[in-house]
Copies of this chain bind each other. A is one copy, B any other.
Amino acid sequence: MLNPDAGLPGAEIISIGNEVLSGLIQDGNSRFLGERLLSLGVAVQRATVVGDDAESITQALDEALKRVDWVVITGGLGTTHDDITKPVLAGYFHSGYRHDAAVAAGLEQFYKDRGRAVPEAVLGQCEVPETAAVLINEKGTAPGLLFEKDGKRVAALPGVPLEMRHLFEKYLVPMLAPLAGLRVSHRILHTTGVTEAGLWEKVGPPGTLKDVVTVASLPSHLGVRIRLSAAGASDTEVNEKLNAAEAWFRQRAGGWIYATDTDTLENTVGRLLIEKKLTLAVAESCTGGLIGHRITGVPGSSEYFLEGAVTYSNAAKAARLGVPVEMLKRFGAVSEETARTMAEGIRRSAAANIGLAVTGIAGPGGGSGEKPVGLTFIALADAAGTVCERFIFHQDRRRNKERAAQAALDLLRLRLTDGGR
C-alpha cells in the first residue's frame, strides 16, 4: 500500500449522521473521497463518523485540525431538526449569519424546474454563516460551505452522494489539485484461479519493484486483485512506472490476469469471442443462470451469445441437452460425464461454436461423503473437442454459485487465449 504519510499532504474526512453510525446506510462518501483525494495526491489520514450531536462534531473537528490542514465534512446540511452541521460550524468559527441571494435564486430555479414553489422549510438554506464561502449546489437544495482560518480549510458538503460529488468536483478539486507536488495513480490487475499465497509464490518477492510502485493484494472468493500505486512528478512518469510494474507481473503470472482496472472477465471473454468470430451457448445447472446473466451484462453480447439452458431438473438435462437418463442414473447429475454431455449437447442444439456447461452441488443440502457440497464440474466443447475440470468450492450456496460462474468464464477465457498459464 502507498503509505499515506509518504510525503503527500494530508486531509481528514468527517461524516455526520446517526443513520451511518447505526448502519442504516453505508458511508460510501468516505470511500469516494479517499480514492479521489489520493488520485489528486492528497492522502486521507483518518475518516471519522460521528452522530448528529454538536459535541461530537466539534470534538472530531478540533482533533482533525490539530493533525491536518484540510477537513472535508459530509452530511447534516439538510432541513430536518437532525441537521446541525451549519449551526455547529457557525459556532465553531464564531460566525453570525447573512442572507445569500445566489442560494435563494438557485432554490427558486430548482423548484421552478419541478413545477413547485420553494417549500417553507427549505428557505432556511438561504441563511449562511457570514465567514463561510458558499458552494452553490445545482443538484439539490443544500449549499456547501467552506471555512478558512489560520491556513486551514474546512469544507462541509451535503451527504447525498450525487450532491457531494458535484460540489467536490466543482469547488474543491481546483483548490486541492495544486496542493500536491506529486501525481498519484493506480492500476488494478484482476486475477482468478489462484490463491493469494499461490500467486505470490509464483511471482516471487517484488524486489526492486518496490522502489517503483507500492503493491497491495486483495483476495476474495472470486480471485485476487493486485493494486499497483505509483507517484511521480507527471502523469507520464506515473504511467511509465505502472506500465513497467504491470509488465513485471504479466511476465510472471500473466495467465491468471483476466482484466485490468474496471474491466471484467465477461468483457474480456466477449472481446475474444468477437475477435475470433465465435458464438457461444451455455448450459447451467447449479449456477442457475448466473453465467448467462454475466455474459449478457456486456453491451453488444447478442453478437456472440446465442442462448443459455438452465437445466435444473434431470428431465430438462435429458430433454434440452440430450443427457441420457441412463448416464444420469449411473454417474449422477453432478459428474464429469454429465458435464461433458451438457456442453456437447448445448453446442449442438444451439449450433454454437462453443458450448460451456456447469453442474455442481451448490449446497447447503444435497452433498454426500463421495460428492460433497461445492463439488462442481465445468466442461467446454468446441471444434477441437471437449475438456472438463473438477472443483470443490468450500463455501456457502451464494459463493459456490459465484465461484462456479467465475471458473467457467475463466476456462472459456483460457481456451480462447490458447490456454497458456
Contacts and interface: CB of A to CB of B under 8 A. Distances in A.
Nearest to A279: B313
Given A45-B51, A289-B293, A306-B313, 5 more contacts: A3-B53, A21-B34, A23-B34, A299-B364, A315-B351
29 contacts: A1-B18, A4-B21, A19-B218, A19-B227, A21-B43, A21-B45, A25-B218, A26-B31, A27-B27, A30-B49, A46-B48, A46-B50, A63-B63, A113-B394, A114-B394, A119-B197, A288-B297, A288-B308, A289-B289, A289-B291, A289-B310, A292-B312, A296-B310, A297-B398, A299-B365, A306-B316, A307-B309, A307-B312, A307-B316
Contact of A56 (B27, B36, B38, B46): B46
A32 interface: yes
A56 B67 CA distance: 10
Contacts of A30: 23, 27, 49
A30 B22 CA distance: 9
A119 B196 CA distance: 12
B306 A308 contact: no
Nearest to A160: B219
Contact of A38 (B22, B33, B308): B22
A417 interface: no
A216 interface: yes
Contacts of A349: 319
A341 interface: no
Contacts of A82: 1
Given A47-B21, A289-B284, A297-B401, A315 B310 contact: no
Interface string A352-376: 0000000000111100000000000
A278 interface: no
A122 to B, nearest CB: 9
A44 interface: yes
B312 A302 contact: yes
Interface in A366-400: 394, 397-398
A177 interface: no
Instruction: List 8 tightest A-B contacts by C-beta distance, closest first.
Output: A288-B296, A23-B35, A289-B292, A289-B289, A308-B310, A23-B34, A307-B316, A1-B18
A287 B401 CA distance: 18
A310 B310 contact: yes
Contacts of A53: 3-5
Contacts of A295: 288
A296 B291 CA distance: 13
Given A308-B310, A310-B307, A23 B32 contact: yes
Contacts of A212: none
B24 A33 contact: no
Given A50-B46, A292-B289, A306 B312 contact: yes
A301 B53 CA distance: 46
Contacts of A3: 18, 51, 53
Q: Among A82, A216, A307, A349, find the residue whose CB has the most chain B CB atoms closer than 10 A.
A: A307
Contact of A287 (B48, B52, B293, B350): B293
A38 to B, nearest CB: 5
